[in-house]
Amino acid sequence: MESCDVMVLGAGAAGLMAGIEAARRGRRVIVADHAAKPAEKIRISGGGRCNFTNLATTPDRFISANPRFAISALSRFTPRDFLRRIEGAGIAWTEKAAGQLFCEGSATQVVSLLTDDLARAGGALWLGCSLGAVRREGAGFTVETARGPARAEAVVVATGGKSIPKMGATGMGYRIAESFSLPVTETRPGLVPMTMAEQDLAPISDLAGVAVSGTARAGRTRFDEAILFTHRGLSGPAILQLSSYWREGEPVELDLCPQADLDALVAHGRAEGGRMALRTLLARIVPERLARQVEAELRLDKPVAGLSRADMARLADRLHRWRIRPVGTEGYRTAEVTVGGVDTKALDSRTMEAKGVPGLYFVGEVVDVTGWLGGYNFQWAWSSGWAAGQVA
Ligand code: FDA
């Protein structure tokens, strides 16, 4: 029977980091994954350029039943620590939006950095190896694998969440947790486009592909970023971010032109003679297709001079306080992350070890810690994987 000190389940961002760190301590490490290639999500991330961290990482950028849980790992292995590894490997990077760091070349450079580091530290990588049950046996564990049962002193579960099953996501980590009677919080797709009902989509069907810089709000959560109309509903960073907080049935309120003062705009239009069509005036503050759609939907195809107070109020409601009722999301098929996961109550925040199951660790997305869009999820994978790798 194959035996090792640390068996890492899942060769994604968190698993590779945990494996590297444990192997650097001289532990005999096997990182196993059923996929043919390691870290496929890194490869496709950030449009192929991998938004590998965010320099503005703070605990409030993460969703969890216990928002303080992530603090320890994030402060011990920081975005700067990961950046040092990127620079050490000679990978050119660029800061896109404030704090968001991407590869200048290709995301595959990050995959190579991790697999090279693992190999240099003496860790083994078992790819194309399906995994089965994990059982406690004596002081260690036995893991069922396609290569036969493997013995390990410690097991690090890094199998990620349920998002994008086509890329190998299985939710296996939750089942392992449950088999050790560890609690798992409710899971749902996050960072995912929202869908709308047919009857709500019909009037805005011409808008697919239109993007505005706006505000999306649900309850007390709000994001000021781009909103994109799609054939099935809404997407864009503001909607993706909101989706991680949104609960089914909750209305979403959009401001499609938060910077615009509609009264001042119309006053200008009137000062210019007032004969201009409303859509022409609106096209100064929103994309032309949206201007036309709003004019048609509100039946305001009249010159600006003819707008009544009531017309202005309807216009403000439609542009600044447009309430929609999404019927759902695009689901795990396209979600970037899974919100929820192994309950942090059951884990030690310093080591990621399961309380009551010495030697069993959970790292990365499988844990109930979900980052915002912008490199936070990879930072959580690096930090939590690093933390487990120091002790496993
Ligand atoms: P991850 O999912 O990466 O790895 C889990 C591994 O376990 C996989 O290799 C899988 O094959 C394996 N596995 C699962 N079940 C198994 C089983 N039953 N048997 C054997 N192996 C199994 N984040 C970010 O910070 N910046 C970004 O730019 C992006 N971009 C992005 C784009 C897209 C399209 C997606 C889908 C996601 C992102 N993300 C992101 C999110 C980021 O990819 C995600 O949070 C991390 O990959 C999570 O890392 P983990 O290692 O925890 O899981």
For residue 178, what are the domain limits?
A: 2-188+337-389
Average pLDDT of the segment spanning 113-134: 98
From 299, 329, 359, give the residue that closes a domain.
Answer: 329
Q: And the tokens for 250? A: 């909750």
CATH of the domain at 58: 3.50.50.60
pLDDT the model gives residue 120: 98
Per-residue model confidence as pLDDT tens digits over 235-264: 999 999 999 999 999 999 999 999 999 999
To test the pocket of ligand 1, the residue of 41, 175, 363 to mutate (highest count of ligand atoms within 8 Å of its CB) is 41
Q: Are residues 12 and 26 in the same domain?
A: yes
pLDDT the model gives residue 232: 97
Mean pLDDT score of the chain = 97
Average pLDDT of the segment spanning 327-356: 97
Give the other-Cβ count within 10 Å of 312's Cβ.
Answer: 14
Q: Are strands 252-255 and 322-324 parallel, antiparallel or unpaired?
A: antiparallel
- Of the pLDDT bands very low, low, confident and very high (cuts 50, 70, 90), residue 108 is very high
Per the CB < 8 A criterion, the answer to whether 256 and 290 are in contact is: yes
- Of the pLDDT bands very low, low, confident and very high (cuts 50, 70, 90), residue 191 is very high
Per the CB < 8 A criterion, the answer to whether 185 and 333 are in contact is: no
Ligand 1, pocket residues at CB < 6 Å: 10-15, 33-35, 41, 44-46, 50-51, 130-131, 158-160, 163-164, 168-170, 172, 336-337, 364-365, 375-378, 381
Q: Are residues 343 and 324 in the same domain?
A: no
Euclidean distance between CA atoms 133 and 144, whole angstroms: 5
Q: Are residues 139 and 234 in the same domain?
A: no
Per-residue model confidence as pLDDT tens digits over 198-210: 999 998 999 999 9
Strand partners, 4: 152
Average pLDDT of the segment spanning 321-327: 96
Number of domains in the chain: 2
Read out DSSP for 246-311? --TT--EEEES-TT--HHHHHHHHHHTTS-SBHHHHHTTTS-HHHHHHHHHHTT--SBGGG--HHH
pLDDT the model gives residue 162: 96
- Of the pLDDT bands very low, low, confident and very high (cuts 50, 70, 90), residue 274 is confident
- Ligand 1: which atom is nearest the Cα of residue 164? 36
CATH of the domain at 321: 2.40.30.10
Residue nearest to atom 48 of ligand 1 (CA): 365
Per-residue model confidence as pLDDT tens digits over 211-233: 999 999 999 999 999 999 999 99
φ, ψ of residue 232 in degrees (nearest 5):
-115, -5
Counting residues of the chain whose pLDDT is more than 90, the rounded percentage is 97
CA angle 239/58/95 to nearest 5° reads 70
Q: And the tokens for 79? A: 């975005």
pLDDT the model gives residue 220: 94
Q: Are residues 19 and 78 in the same domain?
A: yes
Say yes or no: ipTM exceeds 0.95.
yes
pLDDT the model gives residue 248: 93
Euclidean distance between CA atoms 205 and 290, whole angstroms: 11
Over 90: is that where the pLDDT of 309 sits? yes
Q: Are residues 212 and 253 in the same domain?
A: yes
Q: And the tokens for 62? A: 């993460």
CA of 12 to the centre of ligand 1 (A): 6
Average pLDDT of the segment spanning 315-328: 97
Q: Are residues 85 and 23 in the same domain?
A: yes
pLDDT the model gives residue 164: 93
Q: Are residues 351 and 309 in the same domain?
A: no
Counting residues of the chain whose pLDDT is more than 70, the rounded percentage is 100
Q: Which amino acid is at 64?
A: S
Query: What torsion, rounded to 10 degrees, do the Cα atoms 176, 59, 392, 177 define?
Result: -10
- Of the pLDDT bands very low, low, confident and very high (cuts 50, 70, 90), residue 1 is confident
Euclidean distance between CA atoms 339 and 240, whole angstroms: 12
Residue 175: which residues within 8 A CB-CB, separation 6 or more?
none
Euclidean distance between CA atoms 270 and 282, whole angstroms: 13
Per-residue model confidence as pLDDT tens digits over 137-157: 999 999 999 999 999 999 999
Q: Are residues 49 and 172 in the same domain?
A: yes
CA of 377 to the centre of ligand 1 (A): 9
Per-residue model confidence as pLDDT tens digits over 60-86: 999 999 999 999 999 999 999 999 999
Q: Are residues 110 and 220 in the same domain?
A: no
Read out DSSP for 309-370? HHHHHHHHHHHHSEEE---EE-GGGT-SEEE--B-GGGB-TTT-BBTTSTTEEE-GGGBS-E
Give the other-Cβ count within 10 Å of 357's Cβ.
Answer: 16
Give the other-Cβ count within 10 Å of 317's Cβ.
Answer: 12
pLDDT the model gives residue 291: 97
pLDDT the model gives residue 315: 97
Q: And the tokens for 56? A: 């503005």
Q: Are residues 147 and 200 in the same domain?
A: no
Euclidean distance between CA atoms 387 and 392, whole angstroms: 9
Euclidean distance between CA atoms 135 and 337, whole angstroms: 28
Over 90: is that where the pLDDT of 55 sits? yes
